Chains A and B, each alone.
Chain A
Amino acid sequence: MNKREGRLAKQNKLRQLLLSSPYVLWSIGFIILPLVMVVYYGLTSRDGGGFTLENLKLIWEPTHRATLILSVQLSVISTILCLLIAYPLALALRSLRLKSNGFVILLFMLPMWMNFLLRTIAWQNILEKNGVINMLLSAVGLPKLNIINTPTAIVLGMVYDFLPFMIIPIYNVLSKIGDDVIQAAADLGANYFQILWRVILPLSKPGIVSGLTMVFVPSLTTFVISDILGGGNILLIGKVIEQKFKMANDWNAGCGLSLVLMVFIFICMAIVQKYDKDSEGTSVW
């Protein structure tokens, strides 16, 4: 009997190994190893391949530093704007009391079926000198706005493209908060703002955190939005990296700058991990 149990346990172990190994191997090959390559290129010199910190120091060059600062500024602004737009929206959606989350997620995912480059290009039409907004403004006799090819246009593009990534995680968390919790707070004498500040907000923290990172990281690293709405004269750090690979063919410099960006990304990951312990990442989507 004991022998048989031992064999069964062994069999189970083998089965688990067989089941786990494909993904473990896959993630080593396609997640870990590629990142190791970035670190390797980022820390070696272009000619010869010895260890060097030169590629990392590139970020301190005045032009690169200014680019990084501008990128951080614009992405922080658009992340905050996304939060300010998405949170009241998620609250309003919650109060509709829909039976399933499916509809809301669909509504905000559907635009993705139109290519995002095209949708960003469409903003040129809306924002440009003789575009939709200025046409409307002059129709009611207001002065024209000059938004296109400014940092404002880039921020608008970022908010537009990444807003769904803020809405969905926050809505997912809010829709799971039970009415009884809120009623309990109300019964104990809390007014609307106290309920919002001391009950709903703390409970929705995981959604907010994952929304913040889902917007901040792509905004920080985009090169497409600034290409299209910045008119090519506003350089963001993502564009600098892209040019190092596609134009200058200096992979080591590109990887060095990517490593600097990855520091920001890792900080975000650490924050998410901290808040994500019990939900095991499900709040991301």
Chain B
Amino acid sequence: MVKRLIQKGYIGLVIVFLYAPILVLMVLSFNGSKYRSKWGGFTFKWYHELLENEKILNALWTTLLLALLSALLATMLGTLAAVAMNRMKKLPKAIMMSITNIPILNSEIVIGISMMLLYFAISFSLGFTSVLLALTAAHMPYVILNVLPKLRQTSRSTYEAALDLGASPVFAFFKIVLPDIFPGVLSGFMLAFTLALDDFVITHFTKDAKVSTLSTVIYAETRRGIEPEIYALSTIMFTVVLVLLIVMNRMKASAAKKLAEQQK
């Protein structure tokens, strides 16, 4: 009993540690003073001003677009790669597996620099596309590692049965294999999206002056002080995601309950 209490208390403590800065940022978004370290009374001012701050809204749009497109690309290519790797013989598979691990274990600064040098070598100009490709390359391995275990669990015979019944391999893949591995594909996508949304270092090295994401705007402002509108925006984003997750969880739970009742 006491042990259980200590365990729960410890979990709570770590959660406080992880969420304390988020709470601070939320409080700052209602701070009447423009300065981070001074409290100037409660206000909704920054939420209003956010709607008129084009620099931040543009950065938000670029960030979301980059995260979404790079996650989609990474998911499609990564799933294809996982299917291909799942069928490889032992040695080529081991080689590809090691290569896949490189971007995960490599540091972001080296990934960013190396992509920049590649673009320079092939005189590919830096901009939106260069960031997009770099983020895709950096996060695709996470998709592959999420999809591969699911692929190993699917039975090959169902797929072969579909082929025997006249399905084309592509049709059989979408009808038989994809539904089986979909949880892995989805979690790979979510991971790639979250990582891209939060990325600073890779973007920092592969962008030109015209591209700005939320991270690069924030980094540029760390010295002279963050515009409070950014706190407001982050509070909104965080709250939206939190609410979405809670709703999704509820829906899942009620769907499971319904299914259980039907089975009775």
Residues of chain A whose beta carbon lies under 8 Å from any beta carbon of chain B: 15-16, 19-20, 22-24, 26-27, 30-35, 37-38, 41, 85, 88-89, 91-93, 95-96, 106-126, 128, 130-132, 160, 163-164, 213, 217-218, 220-221, 223-224, 227-228, 238, 241-242, 245, 251, 254-255, 258, 261-262, 265, 268-269, 272-273, 276, 280-282, 284-285
Tell me which residues across on chain A come within 8 A of B28, comparing CB atoms.
122, 125
Q: B133 within 8 Å of A by Cβ?
A: yes
Tell me whether B121 is interfacial, beta carbon within 8 Å: yes
Residue of B nearest to A237 (CB): B109
Top 7 closest A-B pairs, CB basis?
Answer: A34-B114, A122-B21, A23-B81, A221-B107, A30-B137, A37-B117, A92-B7
Residue from B17, B37, B104, B116 with most neighbouring chain A CB atoms (10 Å) = B104
How far, in angstroms, from A95 to B219 measured CA to CA in the complex? 40
Q: Are A282 and B215 in contact (CB under 8 A)?
A: no
Please count the residue pairs between chain A and chain B whose beta carbons lie under 8 angstroms apart in the complex: 223
Residue numbers in A under 8 Å from B4 (CB-CB): 95
By beta carbon, the residue of chain A nearest B190 is A109
Query: Chain B's interface: helix, strand, loop or mixed, by majority?
Result: helix
Taking the closest CB of chain B, its distance from the CB of A206, in whole angstroms, is 13
Is the CB–CB distance between A123 and B21 below 8 Å?
Answer: yes
Closest residue to A129 on the B side, CB-wise? B37
How far apart are the CA atoms of A122 and B22 in the complex, in Å?
8
The residue of chain A having its C-beta at the shortest distance from the C-beta of B117 within the complex is: A37
Q: Point out the residues of chain A lying under 8 angstroms from B241, CB to CB.
A: 110, 113
Q: How far is the CA of A169 from the CA of B140 in the complex (A)?
A: 19
Q: Is the beta-carbon distance between B84 and A112 smaller than 8 angstroms?
A: no
Question: Is A258's CB under 8 angstroms from B113's CB?
Answer: yes
- State whether A220 and B107 are in contact (beta carbons under 8 Å apart), knowing that A245-B113, A255-B113 are contacts in the complex: yes
Contact A273 B98 (CB under 8 A): yes
Do B24 and A285 touch across chains, with their CB atoms under 8 A apart? no
Name the residue on B nearest A105 (C-beta): B187
